[in-house]
Amino acid sequence: MLNNCKAVEIAKNIFWVGAVDWSLRNFHGYETSRGSSYNAYLILDEKVTLIDTVKIDFADEIISRISSVVDPAKIDVIISSHVEPDHSGTLKKISELAPNAEIITTNPNGLKGLTARYGNLNYKTVKAGDSISIGERTLQFVPTPMLHWPDSMVTYCPEEKILFSNDAFGEHLATSMKFDDENNLEIILAEAKKYYANILMPFGKQAQTALNALGSLEIKMIATGHGVIWRKNISKIIECYKYWSSDEVENRACIVFDSMWHSTEIIAQTITESFARKNIPAAYYDLKFNTLSDIVTDIFKSKYLVVGSPTINNQMMPTVAEFLNYIKGLRPLNHKGFAFGSYGWGGQSIGLVEEELKAAGVEIILDKIRIANLPTIEQLDEISKTICQNI
């Protein structure tokens, strides 16, 4: 597609050459209501260096932006921080335009992943502590395995004090303004938390290891792989990552359920109000009306997770199964909860929900609540009393 996209200079001779995906609403299942961006950076030095590429759909856009400041054939070094195709998708196309470029990646996982996807290109592998000189600037490599793929790494430029952080510290946000201080901080931090919860939650330990490795660096800019570039609120986002990656949870509850004919819904309402009566704020999520990405962002730091489903064909409802499957993968830490639901006959769903909660690492603190047909006022009062006495 013919376009006239330009590079954006973010520091002297360092350019953002990425793409803004304004219309993205789903990133492999993660609901991205504010779109996203795939950030790539071009450094004009003695060796022209490109840090990451973009999703293949935006190949023309990145090539146009690079071409606005330099002939792509002059690129000497391409740093591939992460194999996932939102960052590496245009690697082959750009390497064809820059046949002399050396592609830097981690060993063995970056090398394996890139070779599998793009064949034998001009790869050079690096490990922790390795650095290269590109002229006036040095680039130091810090592998960050499982943050969030085995191949992931970040790159630090000591002369500029810029950390090129790829997936870390980013958020899915499409914006025409590149820096944090040019955007609404509340929205950025909310999206960064959503990003952490949905992408990085299982990797808290690895995040803490990476934060320790980066702790000694003086950073004046974090050039992320998605969303805004941090230059004003650097300590804020680092503090957020320290907290998000910790085991700490807040005294809050999330009640998540689906309902067929309102019986499980009525129980959910009673449970929500019972937590509130104990001065524990509780959020109420009917799976018919809320996205998994948003629910998970709230569950992430909530101490209590209570999940309900009626029984359908001897199973839990498919929406609840999908939710629990997602939670099992994300493995929230230090959560407590229980299962509830109504049934017409059989009532197997509530036991199945409890088993799935256990499999997700949730500590079961109350016996499952099983109500046949429609709950009575007396049964709801009993549920409320049990919660108030035992939570």
Which spans of this chain sit near ligand FEO (rule: CB under 6 A)?
82, 84, 86-87, 148, 167, 225-226
Query: Strand order of the sheet with strand 123-126?
Result: 8-11, 14-16, 41-43, 48-51, 75-79, 102-106, 123-126
Minimum gap (Å) between residue 196 Cβ and ligand FEO? 13
Nearer to ligand FEO, 82 or 194 (CB): 82
Nearer to ligand FEO, 84 or 258 (CB): 84
Q: What are phi and psi of 50, to 5 degrees?
A: -110, 125
Q: Is 226 a catalytic residue?
A: yes
368 is written with which tokens?
A: 């499952």
Nearer to ligand FEO, 113 or 310 (CB): 113
Minimum gap (Å) between residue 50 Cβ and ligand FEO? 16
Length of the chain measured in residues? 391
Which residue stretches of the chain are H helix? 59-67, 85-88, 91-97, 109-118, 185-195, 204-214, 234-244, 263-277, 292-299, 318-330, 348-359, 377-390
Radius of gyration of the chain (CA): 24
338 is written with which tokens?
A: 């229980």
Q: Which residue is nearest to ligand FEO (CB)?
A: 84
Q: What are phi and psi of 178, to 5 degrees?
A: -85, -25
State the catalytic residue, choosing from 82, 87, 172, 335: 82
Q: How many CB atoms lie within 10 A of CB 133?
A: 11
Q: Is 335 a catalytic residue?
A: no
State the catalytic residue, choosing from 102, 167, 191, 354: 167
Triad 352, 198, 20: Cα angle to 5°? 145
Question: What is the maximum span of the chain, computed from C-alpha positions, in angstroms?
Answer: 78
Minimum gap (Å) between residue 149 Cβ and ligand FEO? 6
Q: Is 82 a catalytic residue?
A: yes
Nearer to ligand FEO, 172 or 303 (CB): 172
Nearer to ligand FEO, 144 or 302 (CB): 144
Nearer to ligand FEO, 87 or 231 (CB): 87
Closest to 224 (Cα-Cα) out of 298, 172, 259, 176: 172
State the catalytic residue, choosing from 86, 102, 180, 298: 86
Do residues 56 and 89 make contact, with C-beta atoms less than 8 angstroms apart?
Answer: yes
* Enclosing H/E stretch for 5: none
Query: Tokens 């769903």 belong to which residue?
Result: 349
* Beta bridge partners of residue 43, listed in sequence order: 14, 49
Minimum gap (Å) between residue 349 Cβ and ligand FEO? 34
Nearer to ligand FEO, 34 or 82 (CB): 82
Q: Is 171 a catalytic residue?
A: no
State the catalytic residue, choosing from 45, 52, 84, 354: 84
CA distance 81 to 88: 8
Enumerate the active-site residues: 28, 82, 84, 86, 148, 167, 195, 226
